[in-house]
Amino acid sequence: AKHLVWFRGDLRITDNKALFSACTDPEADVLAVFIATPEQWQKHDTSPRQIAFIHKNLIALRESLAQLGIPLVCQTVPNFSASIQWLSDFAQQQQIDALFFNRQYELNEYKRDRQLISQENSFQIHIFDDALLLPPKSVLNQKGEMYQVYTPFRRAFLSQLTASDFHSLQAPTKRANAIILEENEPLFEHDDIEIAACFPVGESAARQKLRQFCREKAENYQIDRDIPAIEGTSLLSPYLAIGVLSPRQCLNRLLVENPNVLDFPDSGAFCWLNELIWREFYYHLLVAFPHLCRDKPFIAWTNYIHWNTSSADLEAWKKGLTGYPIVDAAMRQLNTLGWMHNRLRMITASFLVKDLLIDWRQGEQYFMQQLIDGTLAANNGGWQWSASTGIDASPWFRIFNPTTQGKKFDPQGEFIRHWLPELQAVPNDCIHTPHEWAEKNQVVLAYPTPIVDHKLARLRTLEAFEAGKKES
Ligand code: FAD
């Protein structure tokens, strides 16, 4: 038999259900394929950084697969539709008996797979739920519907999870009849963007990072995770986003290092598991409410809000030139690393929507275009949470004060000074309001004065949300 594994959002050989299954028959010839779709990626605002990260990890994957005797073929076509066409032709040409792949849950990805399944194929198709601990539509309330509040979802999720089989699969063993490709051709064209050293390439590096986090940092996660100046979180999101690591691997490693985690909901380790469950929640929501994939808010009346369309305000936010140090430092972190600390994602998102009154979709799009860990589910979920347009979101009248947030989570201004060297000279107790200090001391700072007055901005936003609600 000849088996074809189609790699998409699962760029790893360990704990990969589709790959594992394709290799179960020791006699089978196994071939792998990856299809690059630049036009589609652009439509999805996939960041050049994530594409470069995919590329680097794909090289590592190709090497690991080659060692197993499985060649990886890479093809570039414009979009999803063309990928189906090409795949069908390729499978026919190669006389493939069975195709194996892991499900992707976003709407366009789902439609692409439907297109393949519903056409007449010369091969069998085996599809797996692999990217989540529990598949979408499997955690439902008593009415058989998706939960719209996180806490009851988590309760149900945990009780189902503990009853489920979440063991991680081994990487397949070397094929007896290995296929060797002559040479390693370039995979696909892309901008070769440098990846920050905190995100080393490949699944062994990712597993190493996971192990170290679970061993050394999970315990203090609950406290450390809110302080951007320290590395208190796992920094594993880029790997989970493109499937270099699976959530089962995360959970199993957490359990190895913290065997009683499930019995101690107040522990740091449990707090980390909770974040993994948020990840699941947002994927489950995408499938239950596909309009979330179409730029729609969950709360319909928020469509009636009249947003501020000033491109100068949006640009200042993007560049980290708002005059609010914590916001600007965070945006510079994003622009430099393609990653931003979770607390700061909440602060910057709130600032864009509630201080600048700019449509959250502008921020969602900009994040996607920058993030190395961008995923539609978590990014849309995070933005709709911050904008108060989403499911179980922050209430619309709750508005972060960016200065207070800065004082609370970066009290000494360590993070701010790292990313805003122009504030180096400002003393600790003034770092969150540097312009006041500069004025008092007659110093000229190479740093903008605040583009909005938070107090006034807050009132403007409350009015705009109220008016939108009334108008709907
Ligand atoms: P850790 O704190 O170590 O958490 C472990 C893992 O859990 C993460 O790697 C991630 O996969 C998952 N996770 C953690 N927090 C969340 C969360 N709130 N929602 C969903 N999953 C979570 N996360 C993304 O993976 N991709 C995105 O595009 C994304 N966009 C966001 C946009 C906004 C406005 C907000 C507020 C949050 C967003 N998040 C996103 C969630 C979160 O900020 C990141 O997952 C986290 O900062 C990644 O760092 P880490 O790997 O060190 O996380």
pLDDT exceeds 90 at position 293: no
- What six digits make up the tokens of 445? 């700072």
* 283 contacts 132 by C-beta, under 8 angstroms: yes
Average pLDDT over all residues of the chain: 96
What is the C-alpha to C-alpha distance for residues 318 and 335, in angstroms, rounded to an integer? Answer: 8
Q: Which atom of ligand 1 is nearest to the CA of 346?
A: 36
- What six digits make up the tokens of 428? 């600790």
- Nearest of 405, 29, 13 to residue 206 by alpha carbon: 13
pLDDT classification of 182: cutoffs 50, 70, 90: low
- What six digits make up the tokens of 243? 């499937």
Gap from CA of 340 to ligand 1 centroid (Å): 9
Q: Which residues contact 301 (CB under 8 A, 6 or more apart)?
A: 468, 469, 472
Name the burial class of residue 145, with classes exposed (0-12), middle (13-18) and buried (19+) by CB atoms within 10 angstroms of its CB: exposed
Q: Report which residue type is found at 286.
A: L
What is the C-alpha to C-alpha distance for residues 220 and 225, in angstroms, rounded to an integer? Answer: 8
Q: 4-52, pLDDT tens digit by residue? A: 999 999 999 999 999 999 999 999 999 999 999 999 999 999 999 999 9
Q: For residues 412-436, give the mean pLDDT.
A: 97
- 357 torsion bin: left (phi>0), alpha (psi -120 to 50), beta (else): left
Q: Locate tokens 């909770």: which residue? A: 274
Q: For residues 394-416, give the mean pLDDT.
A: 96
pLDDT exceeds 90 at position 185: no
For residue 180, what pLDDT is reported? Answer: 75
Q: Is the dihedral of CA 249, 13, 37, 314 positive or negative?
A: positive
Q: 109-125, pLDDT tens digit by residue? A: 999 999 999 999 999 99
Gap from CA of 378 to ligand 1 centroid (Å): 7
Gap from CA of 233 to ligand 1 centroid (Å): 10
- What six digits make up the tokens of 372? 């190395």
For residue 461, what pLDDT is reported? Answer: 98
User: Which of 133, 157, 275, when mutated, tests ligand 1's pocket best, judged by the most ligand atoms within 8 Å of its CB?
Assistant: 275
Q: 252-263, pLDDT tens digit by residue? A: 999 999 999 999
Name the burial class of residue 315, with classes exposed (0-12), middle (13-18) and buried (19+) by CB atoms within 10 angstroms of its CB: exposed
Q: Which residues contact 120 (CB under 8 A, 6 or more apart)?
A: none
For residue 253, what pLDDT is reported? Answer: 98
Q: For residues 254-274, give the mean pLDDT.
A: 95
- What six digits make up the tokens of 424? 């180096």
Q: For residues 280-289, give the mean pLDDT.
A: 97
User: Which of 237, 246, 366, when mutated, tests ligand 1's pocket best, judged by the most ligand atoms within 8 Å of its CB?
Assistant: 237
Q: 311-351, pLDDT tens digit by residue? A: 999 999 999 999 999 999 999 999 999 999 999 999 999 99
Q: Report which residue type is found at 37.
A: T
- What six digits make up the tokens of 139? 């955690």
Nearest CA to ligand 1 atom 23: 378
What is the C-alpha to C-alpha distance for residues 221 and 410, in angstroms, rounded to an integer? Answer: 17
Gap from CA of 426 to ligand 1 centroid (Å): 31
Q: 63-98, pLDDT tens digit by residue? A: 999 999 999 999 999 999 999 999 999 999 999 999
What global pTM score does this model have?
0.98
Catalytic residues, by residue number, are: 275, 278, 307, 342, 360, 383
What is the C-alpha to C-alpha distance for residues 423 and 84, in angstroms, rounded to an integer? Answer: 53
For residue 161, what pLDDT is reported? Answer: 96
Helices (H), 123-175: 150-163
Taking CB atoms and a 6 Å cutoff, what residues make up the pocket around ligand 1? 225, 233-237, 240-241, 275-276, 278-279, 282, 342, 345-346, 349, 367, 371, 373-375, 378-379, 381-383, 386
Q: 356-366, pLDDT tens digit by residue? A: 999 999 999 99
pLDDT classification of 103: cutoffs 50, 70, 90: very high
For residue 184, what pLDDT is reported? Answer: 74
* 447 contacts 323 by C-beta, under 8 angstroms: yes
Nearest CA to ligand 1 atom 9: 237
Alpha-carbon dihedral angle through residues 331, 366, 198, 326, given to the nearest 10 degrees = 20
Q: Which atom of ligand 1 is nearest to the CA of 247?
A: 11
Q: For residues 267-283, give the mean pLDDT.
A: 97
Q: For residues 397-416, give the mean pLDDT.
A: 97
Q: Which atom of ligand 1 is nearest to the CA of 368?
A: 28
* 119 contacts 130 by C-beta, under 8 angstroms: no
User: Which of 222, 274, 279, when mutated, tests ligand 1's pocket best, judged by the most ligand atoms within 8 Å of its CB?
Assistant: 279
For residue 179, what pLDDT is reported? Answer: 79
Q: Which atom of ligand 1 is nearest to the CA of 363?
A: 34
- Nearest of 171, 236, 201 to residue 20 by alpha carbon: 171
Nearest CA to ligand 1 atom 31: 379
Q: Which atom of ligand 1 is nearest to the CA of 374?
A: 28
For residue 404, what pLDDT is reported? Answer: 98
Q: 195-247, pLDDT tens digit by residue? A: 999 999 999 999 999 999 999 999 999 999 999 999 999 999 999 999 999 99
Name the burial class of residue 390, with classes exposed (0-12), middle (13-18) and buried (19+) by CB atoms within 10 angstroms of its CB: buried
β-pairing, 29-36 with 98-102?
unpaired
* 152 contacts 47 by C-beta, under 8 angstroms: no
Q: Report which residue type is found at 288.
A: A
Gap from CA of 413 to ligand 1 centroid (Å): 23
- Nearest of 167, 171, 375 to residue 251 by alpha carbon: 167
Gap from CA of 330 to ligand 1 centroid (Å): 15
Nearest CA to ligand 1 atom 48: 237
Gap from CA of 341 to ligand 1 centroid (Å): 8
Q: Locate tokens 């504030």: which residue? A: 423
